[in-house]
Structure 1
Amino acid sequence: MDMDLGVIYENMEPKNRNTAGPQSQNPYEAQNRKRSRGLVVITVCLGIFCVFLVLALLLLCVFLTGERDQLQQNITSVKEHELETKVYNLTNTLKEMFSGSLRYFLSSEEKNWTDSRRFCKDQGGNLVIIKTEEEQRFISSLVDVSVWIGLSDTEEEGNMKWVDNTPLTNRFWIPGEPTNQGNNEDCVVISEFSKKTFMNWNDLPCSWKIKCICEK
């Protein structure tokens, strides 16, 4: 009887009580660890890329700043050279104007164009001839009334010539002039009525009596 109870007791004991086998791994945890490692790698790569990008932008800014400064220096040099050239040319023109070989003078009496030219010749000169913008600006600064100059188309309508028979090259007409109004405006004046500093030529009838400017 005792032996039967022992056998029964042994048969009732759990067979796996002392068995220590390996535990199975959770597949989701392994997958999460792989994803975490991947995110770390991506983050590091992005960080390195951002660093290089910032460095590249800094280098580009330094380069562009240098190019801008160089361009400004070049522009300044060109402007200074152009200004020096204009000052030099104007200085030479003024020297010629005030030299003994070229002088200007205004008449005190009003005469028609032909008599004004005769007056200038009697003084050893002629009605003024204007070939450059510098001369035009300078002569315009000398007068505050309308004056005859040595330009007309009395010989051929529409063919303006100076009193030395040279053709007209530079023109300083009032906008809209010459008009040859009434087909009778053949002689040219520097007009006192022009609002512009040096664009002040106008054609008028040669018979009008006004003052003149001579050169000799």
Structure 2
Amino acid sequence: MINGRELMNSIVKNSLNGIVKTTQMFLSSSAKKTKEELDCVIRPMVREDEIVFEDLHRRARSRFLWLKDPQDWYVAHGQKMSTWYGSYVDNGPPIVYKPAPMLYGALQLQMPMDTDCFFPENTPPEWIGKKGTDAYISGVLVAPEHRNQLVGTKLVRYALAEAKKSGMERCFLIRHKDNWAAANLCHKVGFEVVVPPESDDEYLLGIHLK
């Protein structure tokens, strides 16, 4: 006959075994999802990328980023070429077909950004500098099949280096509080919370470049 103490010990032991087994399954599953770092080229967007960007936009299922100012974008790509596409050429036939690198990801960087209506009233003074010295990453797109391969991290680091070379002193971005992939990327690169969310679900993050 099992007494109360033996019964309790048995329950605790079974519970701990269950927790260990669940943790091992989770770690095993995470390991399977982890991919190797993707070797890619990061550079400013050129004209040939613009139509290929539409394919990336569709695959990434972005509802908020659009190609309004191509000069503000940077792209990540490899050696693989995309399918042929049509584009207009000045002083020539209306359409010419040529291949372009398939895009792994893209990032939009505004510099300098318009700071007149950007900062909330509770922004710490150390984050408010001279007008024209702040950059803003308005979005990052990464193709689903190339996520967890440091494509986003490389794009952000490249953008920060470009902002610093251009004389920017700070760079900002806004992250949704439930976007844990973005949270991990921002922490890895060095962004800090400038203003935590209050009425909405977004964090204002920033990083000092000098």
| Same-fold status (TM-score > 0.5) | no
> TM-score, with normalisation over the residues of structure 2?
0.29
Structure having the higher strand fraction is: 2
Larger RCO, structures 1/2 (Cα 8 Å, 6+ apart): 1
Which has more radius of gyration?
A: 1
Structure having the higher helix fraction is: 1
